[in-house]
Every structure is written in structure tokens, then in C-alpha cells.
Amino acid sequence: MTNASGFLEYERIDTKKRSPEERIKDWNEIRLRQDPEVVKNQGARCMNCGIPFCHGGVLLNGTTSGCPVHNLIPEWNELVYQGQWKEAYLRLIRTNPFPEFTARVCPAPCEGSCTEGYIMESVTINNLEYEIIERAFAEGWVTIKKALETGKKVAVVGSGPAGMSAAHYLNSVGHDVTVIERDDRAGGLMMYGIPNMKLEKKIITRRLDIMQRSGIKFLLSTEVGKDISAQELVDNYDAVVLCAGASKARGLDVAGKELKGVHYAMDFLKSNTKSLLDSNLVDGSYISAKGKRVIIIGGGDTGTDCVATSIRHGCESVHQFEILPQPPAKRIEESNPWPEWPNKFKVAYGQEEAISLYGKDPRNYLISAKKIVGNEQGEVKEVHTVEVTWNKSAAGSMVSQEVSGSEKVWNADIVLLAMGFMGPEDAIPDELKLERDSKSNLKAEYGVFETNVEKVFTAGDMRRGQSLIVWAIQEGKLAAREVDKYLMGDSVIK
């Protein structure tokens, strides 16, 4: 650590975004690059702790603390401060094959466990990662690497972050890798589930091009279990890695859920991005919120993305319902101590845009939808809600209770369900008779990743349930290591 007092000399400076008034007019990335001198000083804030909790990648009280891919964060922070950008890049990719993705859409649990964050503002780890990888691409440091061929063929089902990671590492040790994707573009939920303004699709295609030139094959518009059987893959490949995600959406069991205008959030987001990429929305093949009153049921990133997308369509209004209470303004040490992920109130980009446009945050907490009412044409016209409180039951668990007299009717033309996912779809597991865990995810021990069917492995959300992109990348890597061991007896993937 060259600058031992950097954390005292420099305040945290977050990356800037384009103003809400400007960015809601287009679908381009909202994030702006920082001045290199500012980035250098932000690197100087890192204290190079004796125990760098930012490396962690462990679960504490059910949430992620530290970086699941175990990034060597203090090392590349120091290299950025020294102006050794290429060395910082080489250090970064020792643990993370796709930092351009995590820098954009990972919530940065590394920052939540930053030691500096215990007493002051944490280091801007996420933005330092972003600046390193973008400079690496600009300077031409991101190159193709090929290994001696082993003659072994591996099929990877799913091209999201877990599948891309598994393919990358298996290819890096010489296996012949084919990634099979049911959509017409690779990238999984990163391509169609995350809006362009948060993760521009040219960032994904830039990486996919590198992967293809390195020898990885992508078989698109091919659904395993429909266009090709899962058993065919098992019969024709030396190993199969299932990374098809946890895409079974959680529904809302209330009257009126079948009305026209009620959509799963992911259908809304996917149709928008596909139409945007296909025709710049000219083809009209998307669910439009233009001029409509939008109700989003569910919080989280997906709900935020629905807010931002609806605003860009030109919705009349947008409201977001969350059954849980509003988080506190800052971490509550008694119940949420460092280095746990800090549960505190944040205003994400979609809410920023709603506040700018409508003058208020669209989120409504401690509220539950009771029914959806339609008009004579079977179209949504109202959502009826009730307020709730949370109390501890006799068994010690928290349960919700309706507040008498708090019923309310909300006018609505579109209702978007952003309530998370319930596990992987059934076609592949049912065909191969794969064992499931209590949450319906594929059963495979972490660190082993092999299912009950020989030479069939699984990783990412399909194994662990809905989770962070950085966990998917790490699981893809570790599953690739186990596949390599299975095929070759040992592995250099660490």
C-alpha cells in the first residue's frame, strides 16, 4: 500500500450517470466514465486490509458478504493507483472472466463487506472494476486464448452468465464446447431480461464474439427438450452442463390474474429488448406501456427495470407495490452487523427517473394486492390492495396481517408481476429424471456440481435458485473444473 493515508485524504466519489431528464429519452447506457485521476484517487482509498473481507464470497444471515469470485480487490486497487492499468486488468481476470458484466449489474457485495465501510464510505470497488475492463477493451488487451485440444466434447445448456462461464473455462483447457440456447441471441437473462440502459447489448455481443473466435460454438434458437432431447446430449457428448437458469416465474394467486394486461415482468422486459434489438421498437412486437397506468407488484431489480422501461415507453403513471417494510436509512448494527450485506434504503435508477418525472418515489411499502378487476372487455382496470403489518408468530416466524380499513383501489391498465422465480423449468429435469432439492432446484452438491445422472452437471440459478450474476459466474467456473476432472482425471482450473 503506497498511500497509507489515502482513505483519509480522499472522499468516496461515485460514478456519475446521465441526468434522468436526458436518459429517459433513449435506451442507451446511463453510466458515465470517470476522469482517470479521480479513479486513481479512488484506488488510493483502499487500505489493503490485513483481512480483506471484500474477498469473502460467503453467506451471512442468508445474504452474500464479499465477492463470490474472490476478486483480488486490494491488489488491483493498488495497481490502478500506481497507474499500472494493464497489470490491474491481468489481476482482475485471474478470478473474473467477465468483469464488464459484474461491473454493470452486480450489486457489489464486496462493497458491503469493505472494512472501510464499517466506519466510513466503502471503496468504489464496482467502479474501479468497470474502469479497468473498459480500458482493457479500449487498449486491445482482451485477447483470444486457445489451448491444445483434448478431443472431449462438452454441451452447455444455457448461455447466461453460468453457461458462458462454464464454456469459457472448459474451452480454456482445450475441450470442444457447444453452448445451446433456446433464444435467438445468446446471453440468457443478461441479453433479454436486463434492459439496454443498464447493460447495453453491444457489451454482451463484444464478449460473445471473443468467445466464438476462441473456438466456442453457439447453437441458437434450439430448445433442449423440444428441438433436441436432453438424452441426445447425454448420448452424444462426453459431458453436459445444465445452466438453464431458474426461469419459472412466481405468479400472483388472486382473482383477476387472467385478465388482459396482466403480464410477468420478464415477458414485458424480454419483448421490449427483443423488439429494440430487432427493429428499434418499430415492429411493435412488445408489450407497450405508452399512455397507460402501470402497477408493478414486487420490488427488487426486476421491478426497478419495469419502472424504467415503462417510463421510456411514455406511461401515464407508474406505481410499485412491495409487501415488505421500507428498509432503514442506514445499517442497523444490532440486527444487520458488518460485514453482512447492508439492508438499507436505496434509490435505484428507475426510481430516480420516476421521481424526476412524477415528483415522487413509485414504491409503496407494506401493501398487498387483494384482487385485480377488469372491464367488460376483460381488460385490467383496477387493482385492489390492503396495507399489512408484520408480526412474530408463536413459532417465531414473521407473518403478515392485514390492516383493517386500509383497503384502496388503484386505477391500472397494465399489471406487471415482478415477484421473483420459483426454480428451473421442468422439461429437462423430468426427461433425465434429475433429483431436485426442497426448492425444486437441481440437486448437486456445491463444489461437486454433478447430478444424480452420470456426466450431467449443473451450475448457476438452475442449481442454487435465483441469485446474483457473480454467483452464476463462480458456479460456472467451478462446475467447469469438476467437468474437467471428470474428463481428464485432474484440472488446472482453480
Look at residue 145 and tell me if it is in a domain.
no
Domain boundary residue, one of 417, 432, 460: 417
Residue-by-residue DSSP string for 274-319: HHHHHHTTTT--S---TT-EEEEE--HHHHHHHHHHHHHHT-SEEE
pLDDT of 343: 94
CA atoms of 422 and 420, how far apart (whole Å): 7
Q: Are 475 and 450 within one domain?
A: yes
Q: Are 159 and 272 within one domain?
A: no
CA 39 to chain CA mean position, Å: 25
Q: Are 387 and 300 within one domain?
A: yes
Q: Are 357 and 342 within one domain?
A: yes
Please tell me the number of Cα atoms within 13 Å of 115 on its side-chain side.
Answer: 14
Look at residue 363 and tell me if it is in a domain.
yes
DSSP state at residue 260: B
Look at residue 53 and tell me if it is in a domain.
yes
**Which string of b and e fits 281-301 if b means at least 16 CB within 10 Å?**
beeeebbbbeebbbbbbbbeb
Look at residue 254 and tell me if it is in a domain.
no
What angle do the packed helices 300-313 and 349-358 form, to 10 degrees? 40
pLDDT of 378: 97
Q: Are 274 and 362 within one domain?
A: yes
The residue segments making up the domain with residue 75 are 6-139
Q: Are 297 and 427 within one domain?
A: no
Domain boundary residue, one of 377, 396, 417: 417
CATH number of the structural domain spanning residue 338 = 3.50.50.60
Q: For residue 74, count other CB atoms closer than 10 A to its CB.
A: 20
Domain boundary residue, one of 92, 109, 139: 139
Look at residue 310 and tell me if it is in a domain.
yes
Question: How many domains, the chain?
Answer: 3
pLDDT of 3: 80
DSSP state at residue 175: -
Look at residue 147 and tell me if it is in a domain.
no
Q: Are 391 and 431 within one domain?
A: no
Q: Are 319 and 228 within one domain?
A: no
Element (H, E) at 371: strand 367-374
Q: Are 240 and 312 within one domain?
A: no
Q: Do strands 317-322 and 456-458 pair parallel, antiparallel, or not at all (unpaired)? A: unpaired
Q: What is the pTM assigned to this prediction?
A: 0.96
Q: Are 77 and 219 within one domain?
A: no
pLDDT of 131: 98
Q: Are 107 and 233 within one domain?
A: no
CA atoms of 68 and 470, how far apart (whole Å): 6
Q: Which of 35, 12, 27 is nearest to 131 (CA)?
A: 35
Per-residue tens of pLDDT for the chain, all 494 residues: 668 888 999 999 999 999 999 999 999 999 999 999 999 999 999 999 989 999 999 999 999 999 999 999 999 999 999 999 999 999 999 999 999 999 999 999 999 999 999 989 999 999 999 999 999 999 999 999 888 999 999 999 999 999 999 999 999 999 999 999 999 999 999 999 999 999 999 999 999 999 999 999 999 999 999 999 999 999 999 999 999 999 999 999 999 999 999 999 999 999 999 999 999 999 999 999 999 999 999 988 999 999 999 999 999 999 999 999 999 999 999 999 999 999 999 999 999 999 999 999 999 999 999 999 999 999 999 999 999 999 988 888 889 999 999 999 999 999 999 999 999 999 999 999 999 999 999 999 999 999 999 999 999 999 999 999 999 999 999 999 999 999 999 999 98
CA atoms of 52 and 255, how far apart (whole Å): 51
Q: Are 426 and 407 within one domain?
A: no
